[in-house]
């Protein structure tokens, strides 16, 4: 873990509400959370507890109704929209349950999607990442020609392309069988450790959550924490 004393991510008194059938539902109720640089944190809790809403709020994808989200000391949602987009593109990476690969693009083309400059350096990094996730021999395959585990490996490589300092993963093993899911988590943790990234993962799997540095549980819109075993 990094010795950087500034938190990589900090949520300060974050609230989120949704309206459903004309009824307002409080999902996040004054959440405070600090994640150190290089730390691997797993968010757990019952279905519908708001884990994904919290992850998306921390990741710059959904603005809170109240409170602040600090990314490496910057008040994310206080920035103009273009600066928010720049932070998301340059500092943050995302891995989703459903992979979100473009079906008409090959594996390496999908990895290259986040980059704004399709230059030689970007392609070299894309190839290096595909080699790191064990797919260099399948880089020209379309998603339909890859297994679910292979598609998620492509998604992990894509998330790392722009060399973000923070990686967010929302149920990254949710569409995989237990053996493949375990392999993907092994890969994700190994790459994050090797590249010295901060990692925040949402999972319903308590067993997987024990693999991080810290497990944080969302209960009734608030967080409790315990060190991973």
Q: What is the pLDDT of residues 79-120, one digit of tens each?
A: 999 999 989 988 999 999 889 999 999 999 999 988 865 555
- CA torsion sign, 115 to 121 to 125 to 126? positive
Q: Which residue has the higher pLDDT, 23 or 71?
A: 71
Predicted confidence at residue 121, as pLDDT, reads 66
Express as a percent the part of the chain with pLDDT over 70: 93
* pLDDT tens column, 18-49: 887 788 888 899 999 999 999 999 999 887 78
* Radius of gyration of the CA atoms of the chain, in A: 17
- Please report, to the nearest 10 degrees, the dihedral formed by the alpha carbons of residues 90, 36, 63, 27 taken in order: 150
The full set of domain ranges for the chain reads: 9-227
CB 197 within 8 A of CB 159: no
**CATH, domain range 9-227:** 3.40.50.300
- What value does the mean pLDDT take over residues 151-161? 94
Predicted confidence at residue 117, as pLDDT, reads 55
Select from 83, 38, 39, 32 the least CA-distant residue to 57: 32
Residue 224 has pLDDT above 80, yes or no: no
Residue 3 has pLDDT above 70, yes or no: no
Residue 214 has pLDDT above 60, yes or no: yes
- What value does the mean pLDDT take over residues 117-128? 77
Predicted confidence at residue 120, as pLDDT, reads 59
Strands laid side by side in the 66-71 sheet: 23-35, 9-20, 66-71, 74-75
Query: Distance of alpha carbon 193 from its chain centroid, rounded?
Result: 15
Contacts of 56 (CB under 8 A, 6+ apart): 62, 170
Predicted confidence at residue 174, as pLDDT, reads 87
- Give residue 75's pLDDT band: very low, low, confident or very high (50, 70, 90): very high
- Classified as helix, coil or strand, 136 is helix
Q: At what angle do helices 178-195 and 148-160 cross, to 10 degrees?
A: 20
- Give residue 147's pLDDT band: very low, low, confident or very high (50, 70, 90): very high
């Amino acid at each position: 873990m990094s010795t950087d004393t500034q938190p990589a991510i900090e949520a300060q008194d974050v609230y989120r509400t949704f309206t459903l059938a004309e009824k307002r539902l409080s999902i996040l109720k004054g959440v405070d959370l600090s994640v150190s640089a290089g730390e691997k944190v797993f968010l757990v809790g019952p279905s519908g507890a708001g884990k994904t809403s919290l992850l998306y709020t921390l990741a710059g994808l959904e603005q809170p109704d109240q409170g602040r989200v600090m990314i490496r000391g910057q008040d994310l949602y206080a920035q103009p929209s273009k600066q928010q987009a720049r932070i998301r593109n340059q500092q943050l990476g995302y891995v989703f349950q459903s992979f979100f690969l473009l079906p008409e693009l090959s594996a390496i083309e999908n990895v290259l999607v986040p980059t704004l400059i399709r230059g030689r350096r970007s392609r070299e990094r894309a190839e290096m990442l595909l080699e790191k996730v064990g797919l260099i021999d399948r880089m020209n395959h379309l998603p339909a020609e890859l297994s679910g585990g292979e598609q998620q490996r492509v998604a992990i490589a894509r998330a790392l392309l722009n060399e973000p300092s923070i990686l967010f993963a929302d149920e990254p093993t949710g569409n995989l069988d237990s053996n493949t899911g375990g392999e993907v988590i092994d890969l994700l943790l190994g790459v994050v450790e090797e590249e010295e990234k901060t990692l925040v993962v949402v999972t319903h799997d308590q067993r997987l959550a024990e693999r991080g540095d810290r497990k944080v549980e969302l209960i009734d819109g608030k967080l409790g924490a315990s060190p991973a075993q």
